[in-house]
Amino acid sequence: MTQLTIVAKIEAKASDIDLVKTELLKLIEITRSEQGCINYDLHQDNDNPAQFIFYENWKTRELWQAHMANGHLKAYMTATEGKVETFTLNEITNIN
């Protein structure tokens, strides 16, 4: 089993920054209590307030995939539909 790191970059539409931020904040507490979650940290860019980054570590990729199928993530997707300009996700593994 290899720990998985996720870097998810969310850029809100300029008119919807507050709504997207509110919805992202709702994910933190519930996700941190999920099985396999090591850390789940949300950041907001200092120069571009529309840009958010989640830095996450999971015990395994399978446990992260279970997180991705949870209802609270689906609720976030519904609440922010049409409000996000871009979304990128990187699955990375520490190699040192």
Domain ranges of the chain: 4-92
Nearest to 41 by CA among 66, 7, 16, 13: 7
Strands (E), 13-83: 37-44, 51-58
pLDDT tens digit sequence for 15-32: 999 999 999 999 999 999
Q: Is the pLDDT of residue 81 over 80?
A: yes
Report d(CA 3, CA 60) in Å as an integer. Answer: 5
pLDDT of amino acid 96: 77
Report the percentage of the chain scoring pLDDT > 90.
Answer: 94
Query: CATH classification of 4-92 is 3.40.640.10, yes or no?
Result: no
